[in-house]
Amino acid sequence: MTNKPLVTRYEDNPILTKHDIPYAVETVHNAGATKYEDQYILLFRSHLRNGRSILGIARSDDGYKFRADSKPFMVPSSDSEFSIHEEYGVEDPRICLIGSEYYITYSAYSRFGVRIGLAKTCDFESVERVSLISQADMRNVVIFPETFGGRYARMDRPHSEINPWCIWLSWSPDLVHWGESVPVIQPVQYHWDEMKIGPGATPIKTAQGWLNIYHGVFPTMDGAVYRLGVALHDLADPAKVLGVADDWILSPEDPWELTGYVHNVVFTCGAVAEDDGTVKIYWGGADSVMCVGVAKIDDLIELCLKKARPPLS
Ligand code: BMA
């Protein structure tokens, strides 16, 4: 292995900050990403001045230069089924295209804990809530964009006071009811992700398997450091992990990743695979701004398989 970074940061990072948003927000971070009708879409999280979060939308022709819409895309619901669970805000969306619908999983925060909400849109103009799809406490849910034997699969990350905080995989017949959950990747002691791990971007289908770009956290005397890592899941059975890369692929380095609302954080909720074998990875820097970088998908897969550690050890 050379010292060459696997992810090449875009030279004009950060690509979106609060100064680019036409309404009052304090941060722009942790955006889900996808392509819709030749446009790149970022659904980003913003803290308001009361510390609670809403979701905004920004669009781009090239995946680098984004323009935010004049209004937020999702704010806490006023419909009683959802409002009781979204009182403290909506956070960290992931986008998954299934058929012609874009499904959005997001964290719904309230005095009762954090649950996952499912919403959908077919045009990124209007959005409809479908259901709450987890109990408290759960964060970081990413749905696989295909079914397996007629069932949907998702990766999730239950909270627990009992370590370790693993990545789990659950199954569903209808995207609403989920079960048969199993842990699939576990943090490793004194590794860069020893404190906790969680799903990041919606998995990317490759010939060798599903590429999972996730986040891992290491505790230091100066607080937690959030980094990104990769794992490869079996194409036919995503609960089977073919390899977890021992090394991280991205660590906070740029000034806007090292300091901000929460220091030392790179956190992804979305990536877009391109036809040329590269992937644009989008990440929040220090819970304050949005950044992008490019990696070769084959390099990430090679790291999963050739520099692997056991998924559960
Ligand atoms: C996690 C989540 C993320 C956030 C990260 C770093 O627990 O709250 O939304 O980016 O912490 O603060």
pLDDT tens digit sequence for 218-264: 999 999 999 999 999 999 999 999 999 999 999 999 999 999 999 99
Residue with the smallest CA separation from ligand 1 atom 12 is: 262
Q: For the chain, how many structural domains are there in total?
A: 1
Contacts of 89 (CB under 8 A, 6+ apart): 52, 53, 54, 76, 109
For residue 91, which atom of ligand 1 is closest to its CA? 9
Which position has the token pair 């370790």? 164
The one-character DSSP state at 250 is: B
Pocket test for ligand 1, best of 29, 30, 251 (most atoms within 8 A of CB): 30
* Its pTM surpasses 0.85: yes
265 CA closest ligand 1 atom index: 6
In this prediction, residue 66 carries a pLDDT of 98
Q: Which of 176, 41, 30, 153 is nearest to 89 (CA)?
A: 30
Looking at residue 160, what is its pLDDT? 78
Q: Which residues contact 217 (CB under 8 A, 6 or more apart)?
A: 193, 195, 196, 197, 224, 225, 226, 227
By DSSP bridging, strand 113-121 and strand 128-132 are: antiparallel
Range of the domain at 277: 16-309
Distance CA 212, CA 215 (A): 10
CATH number of the domain within which 275 lies: 2.115.10.20
Residue 150 resides in a domain = yes
pLDDT at 161: 79
Candidate of 55, 165, 267 to mutate for ligand 1, largest count of ligand atoms within 8 Å of Cβ = 267
Q: Whose CA is nearest to atom 2 of ligand 1?
A: 92
Average pLDDT of every residue of the chain = 96
Task: Report yes or no on 2 lying in a domain.
Answer: no
User: What pLDDT was estimated at residue 4?
Assistant: 82
Residues of the chain where predicted confidence (pLDDT) is lower than 70? 1-2, 163
In-domain check, residue 1: no
At residue 2, the pLDDT reads: 56
Q: Is the CB of 239 under 6 A from ligand 1?
A: no
Task: Tell me, using a 6 A CB cutoff, whether residue 267 lines ligand 1.
Answer: yes
Q: What is the pLDDT of residue 294?
A: 98
- 281, 228 in Cβ contact below 8 A? yes
